[in-house]
């Protein structure tokens, strides 16, 4: 049979360690009833004849439900029982030789750990790739770790179906959101479960949503602005305007309007952590924007959850200093940001006063912007978008990334209603990262968006009013 990409959606790989006195064919049938779309049988400890008998029993179940059966590594057994195909590793039989032995009508999958192996497998005629191990796994001692970035690159550049393998479970499967996968291969989270059918059903539902999802997802972690011009409210509006599905974790509540902040109510760190659990375990965000977080315990909770869920595309707007130059958070909180949150960031977006605090340098001109951006980027091992303004230049922003500088020119717009510009820019960058743009393009498009929001000249409130975040809604993309 020839491979149908749908067969790869939930690819169950057997392991006899989970039999617990039961027959493998019984476990396989439960997995298929729960939603497994392909079965790979592997056995390293049986004799050939014992493995053959087991494989024939599993094959009968697979044929009953019209689910393809692949044999792991054993081309001879595949031919003997006329299985649907084989999956081979990098150290197994040569792919071209395997194809000669099995013929064109059999499925051949190949394990790959990097782009070079993936391209060679494609050129040699593999039907699909199994890429991993993505997460640590106990079922294969010689598994090589593969990063999510490598997986994503292979999915984008190699023109055959790709399944992710290695340590995948009910929670971390959602981390594939935004990666153009065709399916996942799973061992223990199916066959090691107390209820194999239920586990398979839940996993299939989640991977189906990932594979079919066309809406980028983005999370903001920040404070609430009751006037709607900054913080969580500005972020949600910005994300919607830039066509991503927006979610929020509220780290603080404020009573404020265009004339100032009247009161702040900090959210407990454990509740911030609970909000993050709820988001990450259901609708995994493809990017995360973090705004003002002023409490040490909250910062620590956020950092731990970002690491726990392997969050990516993290945009940190280090809100520490007001336009007047006054510090907004304590020295202890700033130190916690530096030590725990900044090293996780994809990009930091400080303004001039914030960059002075982070670098310890005075910034009075563009040359000093270059020096400060380099110091911050090298010190925290992330990209830095140092925002201009503050009478240094006409809203020209500087991106420092991996020893390279890029200026993003901006035209100063004569609009005093600039409440929430920092929140808006950082959440727009996160939106475009969620949509798959590289950082440079994300910054450019975010600056274009914020320029349009300012140029719309919205005029609300008695003080420094908000921008028109929704100005793009009447325009075509």
Which pLDDT belongs to residue 325? Answer: 53
Higher pLDDT, 383 or 436: 383
Q: Which range (17-21, 250-254, 364-368, 389-393) has the least confidence? A: 389-393
445 vs 451: CA distance, rounded Å:
10
The mean predicted confidence, pLDDT, of the chain is 92
Which pLDDT belongs to residue 144? Answer: 64
Kindly state the average pLDDT of the residues 396-403.
94
92 assigned ligand-binding residue: yes
Give the residue from 202, 302, 199 showing the smallest Cα distance to 250: 302
State whether 225 and 136 are in the same domain. no
Higher pLDDT, 214 or 419: 419
By residue count, the chain amounts to 477
The sign of the torsion formed by the CA atoms of 56, 111, 182, 173 equals: positive
**393 has pLDDT over 70:** no
Tell me which residues are annotated as active site.
387, 418, 420-423
308 assigned ligand-binding residue: no
Residue 26 is part of a domain; what is its CATH number?
Answer: 3.20.20.70
217 assigned ligand-binding residue: no
Which of 150, 182, 212 is the C-terminal boundary of a domain?
212
State whether 293 and 221 are in the same domain. yes
Kindly state the average pLDDT of the residues 370-391.
90
Which pLDDT belongs to residue 139? Answer: 57
Which pLDDT belongs to residue 395? Answer: 77
State whether 274 and 152 are in the same domain. no
**146 has pLDDT over 70:** yes
161 vs 126: CA distance, rounded Å:
10
Burial track 445-463 (b if 16+ CB lie within 10 A, e otherwise): bbbebbbbbbebebebbee
Structural domain count of the chain:
2
248 vs 219: CA distance, rounded Å:
5
Kindly state the average pLDDT of the residues 223-243.
96
State whether 224 and 351 are in the same domain. yes
Residues 6+ apart with CB under 8 A from 475: none
Which of 197, 212, 227 is the C-terminal boundary of a domain?
212
Structural contact between residues 176 and 142, judged by C-beta atoms closer than 8 angstroms: no
Which residue is it, tokens 């079965």?
Answer: 39
pLDDT digits (tens, 9 = 90+) for 49-60: 999 999 999 999
Kindly state the average pLDDT of the residues 338-357.
95
Which pLDDT belongs to residue 92? Answer: 77
Interhelix angle 421-434/439-455, rounded to 10 degrees, is: 140
pLDDT digits (tens, 9 = 90+) for 161-177: 999 999 999 989 999 98
State whether 270 and 375 are in the same domain. yes
**326 has pLDDT over 70:** no
Which of 164, 189, 212 is the C-terminal boundary of a domain?
212
Kindly state the average pLDDT of the residues 415-438.
94
Confidence class for position 287, pLDDT limits 50, 70, 90:
very high
State whether 38 and 164 are in the same domain. yes
State whether 267 and 377 are in the same domain. yes
Structural contact between residues 238 and 468, judged by C-beta atoms closer than 8 angstroms: no
Enclosing domain of residue 325 = 217-474
Which pLDDT belongs to residue 160? Answer: 97
111 assigned ligand-binding residue: yes
Kindly state the average pLDDT of the residues 243-262.
94
Which pLDDT belongs to residue 214? Answer: 73
State whether 136 and 224 are in the same domain. no
226 assigned ligand-binding residue: no
Which pLDDT belongs to residue 140? Answer: 57
Which pLDDT belongs to residue 323? Answer: 53
290 vs 181: CA distance, rounded Å:
28
Confidence class for position 414, pLDDT limits 50, 70, 90:
confident
State whether 204 and 221 are in the same domain. no
Confidence class for position 406, pLDDT limits 50, 70, 90:
very high
State whether 187 and 264 are in the same domain. no
State whether 205 and 73 are in the same domain. yes
State whether 14 and 97 are in the same domain. yes
Query: 3-state secondary structure string, the chain?
Result: CCCCHHHHCEEEECCHHHCCCCCHHHHHHHHHHHCCCEEEECCCCCCHHHHHHHHHHHHHHHHHCCCCEEEECCHHHHHHHCCCEEEECCCCCCHHHHHHHHCCCCEEEEEECCHHHHHHHHHCCCCEEEECCCCCCCCCCCCCCCCHHHHHHHHHHCCCCEEEECCCCCCHHHHHCCCCCCEEEECHHHHCCCCHHHHHHHHHHHHHHHHHCCCCEEEEEEEEECCCCCHHHHHHHHHHHCCCEEEEEEEEEEEEECCEEEEEEECCHHHHHHHHHHHHCCCCCCEEEECCCCCHHHHHHHHHHHHHCCCCCEEECCCCECCCCCECCCHHHHHHHHHHHHHHCCEECCCHHHHHHHHCCCCCCHHHHHHHHHHHHHHHCCEEEECCCCCCCCCCEEEEECCEEEEECCCCCCCCCCECHHHHHHHHHHHHHHCCCCHHHHHHHHHHHHHHHHHCCCCCCCCCCECCCCHHHHCCC
Which pLDDT belongs to residue 372? Answer: 97
Which pLDDT belongs to residue 142? Answer: 52
Kindly state the average pLDDT of the residues 434-446.
95
139 assigned ligand-binding residue: yes
Residue 459 is part of a domain; what is its CATH number?
Answer: 3.40.1190.20
44 assigned ligand-binding residue: yes
**87 has pLDDT over 90:** yes
């Amino acid at each position: 049979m020839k491979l149908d990409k749908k067969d790869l959606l939930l690819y169950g790989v057997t392991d006899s360690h989970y039999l617990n006195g039961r027959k493998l064919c019984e476990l396989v049938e439960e997995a298929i009833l729960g939603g497994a779309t392909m079965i790979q049988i592997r056995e390293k400890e049986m004799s050939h004849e014992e493995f053959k008998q087991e494989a024939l029993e599993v094959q009968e179940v697979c044929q009953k439900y019209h689910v393809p059966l692949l044999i792991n590594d054993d081309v001879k057994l595949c031919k003997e029982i006329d299985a649907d195909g084989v999956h081979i590793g990098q150290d197994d039989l040569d792919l071209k030789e395997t194809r000669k032995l099995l013929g064109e009508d059999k499925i051949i999958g190949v394990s790959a750990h990097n782009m070079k192996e993936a391209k060679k497998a494609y050129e040699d005629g593999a039907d699909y790739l199994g890429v991993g191990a993505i997460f640590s796994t106990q079922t294969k001692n010689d598994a090589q770790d593969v990063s999510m970035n490598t997986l994503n690159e292979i999915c984008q550049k190699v023109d055959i179906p790709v399944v992710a393998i290695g340590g995948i479970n009910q929670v971390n499967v959602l981390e594939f959101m935004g990666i153009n996968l065709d399916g996942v291969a799973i061992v223990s989270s199916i066959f090691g479960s107390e209820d194999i059918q239920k586990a398979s059903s839940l996993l299939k539902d989640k991977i189906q949503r990932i594979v079919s999802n066309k809406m980028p997802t983005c999370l903001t972690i920040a404070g609430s602005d009751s006037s709607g011009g900054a913080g969580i409210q500005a972020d949600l509006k910005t994300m919607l305007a830039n066509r991503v599905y927006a979610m929020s974790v509220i780290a603080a509540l404020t009573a404020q309007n265009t004339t100032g902040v009247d009161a702040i109510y900090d959210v407990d760190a454990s509740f911030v952590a609970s909000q993050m659990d709820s988001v990450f375990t259901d609708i995994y965000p493809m990017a995360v924007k973090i705004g003002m977080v002023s409490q040490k315990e909250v910062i620590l909770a956020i950092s731990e959850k970002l690491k726990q869920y392997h969050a990516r595309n993290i945009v940190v707007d280090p809100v520490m200093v007001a336009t007047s130059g006054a510090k907004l958070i304590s020295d202890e909180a700033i130190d916690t940001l530096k030590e725990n949150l900044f090293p996780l960031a994809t990009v930091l977006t400080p303004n001039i006063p914030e960059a002075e605090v982070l670098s310890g340098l005075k910034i009075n001109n563009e040359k000093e912007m270059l020096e400060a951006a380099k110091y911050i980027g090298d010190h925290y091992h992330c990209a830095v978008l140092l925002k201009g303004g503050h009478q240094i230049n006409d809203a020209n922003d500087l991106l420092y990334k991996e020893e390279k500088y890029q200026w993003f020119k901006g035209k100063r717009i004569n609009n005093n209603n600039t409440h929430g510009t920092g929140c808006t820019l950082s959440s727009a960058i996160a939106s475009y990262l969620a949509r798959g743009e590289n950082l440079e393009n994300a910054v450019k498009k975010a600056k274009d968006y914020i320029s349009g929001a300012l140029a719309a000249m919205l005029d609300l409130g008695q003080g420094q009013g908000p921008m028109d975040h929704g100005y793009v809604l009447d325009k075509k993309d």
